[in-house]
Amino acid sequence: MKVPIISMGAVTHLGLGPDILCNYNLNKPHQRPKSRSNNSSEDINIDAYTIGSVDEFLSYERREIRFLTKGTKYLLAAVDSAKENCSDFDFGKINPDDLGIVVGSNYGGLDTIANFDWTIVTEGPEAVSVMAIPNTLTNAPAVQMAIKLQAKAFNSTIATGRTCALDAIGYACKFINSGRARYVYASAMEEMSPHLINAMQSIEANRGSPVSEAAGTLLLGHSDLVQAESYIIGWRNTCSTDSSLSDCMTDVINQVLNDAGLTMSDVAFVIGSINSSRDEAIIDGLAATAKNMRENIKFVSVSGYLGNTYGVSGILNVIVATFALKKWKIPGSAIPHGINISEKINISSEVVTFEKGVVLAVEADHSGICSAILISR
């Protein structure tokens, strides 16, 4: 597998565009943005990073986006930023028949669905707008994205918890290699609502990172069509219900490295999301891999200032990894307080340089799903 990364786009609470995200990661590892929310409900305890309106950044007329959910708008904003981020690629040459869409999302549209149901129950079916009905479908953001981009090759939505962004990238690569599409937008998005934020805080009682809205996208293409600075060279996903999450992580790392004909000694650093003490299984799996294959593995997590972006975290980490390979710099880590990993694996808050190697991006969901992506220059 060798699939070019043509362009990247993102929207987070830090701002619009991958440059803001990556410059922040590579140059300001110690700074953490202030937690913020645009909700004022007094009965809900909210600690979250929210994005707010992105309407002014979209390349569409207001009537075209009037009935779109905010999550769908985040996706479109990420795509627009991907186009702006790659001035030397002619996006106009992409034939809609050859363009596919894969979106990873777990909570996209959930607020719309809840409000829709609540209105029907409390006020009756005549009180809801028919224009809101399409937004109650799980795949509505991906469908709207395909409509706006006129993508006709295929359209998929993936909801595999925290691994859905890496899985979206992996699916996109397989579709390209199998001839289903020549270009694919592999994307991920999570939107937050007050009640969802409160529920997530209750579930992750020991959470260290505030939950966070975000969207990201990679435009991928066939290697015969375009050359790029960075490539996806491997993807593996596995689910295990009869072994520990750390063992599952070790297995998926070994699988993706074996597929690419590499070993851990070829990996410059590993990047993944550590949001709370519940995520220490990722560290345990990496530590076991490092013990068996190589001692001094470097691990990076930027969750401490990006927040818990849940399903989007994988794609944001791949964007950070791609910029790191371009600049030959390993980003400084920001780990939430209360997580003890210093004795298990090599991690630093300082930005350091490196000269060669690939980057391994990993994610694990507490349901038992683990996913890994390899990125190279």
pLDDT in tens, the chain (377 residues): 899 999 999 998 888 888 877 765 555 543 443 334 444 333 334 467 777 778 777 777 777 777 788 888 889 999 999 998 887 888 888 999 999 999 998 877 777 777 788 888 899 888 887 777 788 787 888 998 899 899 999 999 999 888 999 999 999 999 999 999 999 999 999 887 776 666 666 555 445 677 788 999 999 999 888 888 899 999 999 887 766 777 888 889 989 999 999 988 899 999 988 776 666 666 666 666 655 555 567 888 887 778 788 889 999 999 999 999 998 988 887 776 666 665 667 777 788 888 889 999 999 888 888 999 999 99
Give CA angle at 327 (360, 216), nearest 5°.
Answer: 60
3-state secondary structure the chain: CCEEEEEEEEEECCEECHHHHHHHHHHCCCCCCCCCCCCCCCCCCCCEECCCCCHHHCCCCHHHHCCCCHHHHHHHHHHHHHHHCCCCCCHHHCCHHHEEEEEECCCCCHHHHHHHHHHHHHHCHHHCCHHHHHHHCCCHHHHHHHHHHCCCCEEEEECCHHHHHHHHHHHHHHHHHCCCCCEEEEEEEECCCHHHHHHHHHHCCCECCCEECEEEEEEEECCCCCCCCCEEEEEEEEECCCCCHHHHHHHHHHHHHHHCCCCHHHEEEEEECCCEHHHHHHHHHHHHHHHHHCCCCEEECCHHHHCECHHHHHHHHHHHHHHHHHHCEECCCCCCCCCCCCCCCECCCCCEECCCCEEEEEEECCCCEEEEEEEEC
What residues contact 229, with CB distance under 8 A and at least 6 apart? Answer: 5, 322, 325, 326, 377
Burial of 306 (0-12, 13-18, 19+ CB in 10 A): buried
What is the Cα–Cα distance from 317 to 168, expressed in whole angstroms? 13
User: Please, are residues 176 and 209 in contact by the beta-carbon 8 Å criterion?
Assistant: no
At residue 34, the pLDDT reads 39
User: Please, are residues 95 and 150 in contact by the beta-carbon 8 Å criterion?
Assistant: no
At residue 301, the pLDDT reads 83
Amino acid at 21: L
At residue 177, the pLDDT reads 94
At residue 351, the pLDDT reads 84
Tokens at 146, concatenated: 């395909």
At residue 339, the pLDDT reads 65
What is the Cα–Cα distance from 327 to 219, expressed in whole angstroms? 20
At residue 288, the pLDDT reads 65
At residue 104, the pLDDT reads 94
At residue 35, the pLDDT reads 37
Whole-structure pTM value: 0.88
Domains parsed from the chain with CATH numbers: 3-221 (3.40.47.10), 231-376 (3.40.47.10)
At residue 13, the pLDDT reads 84
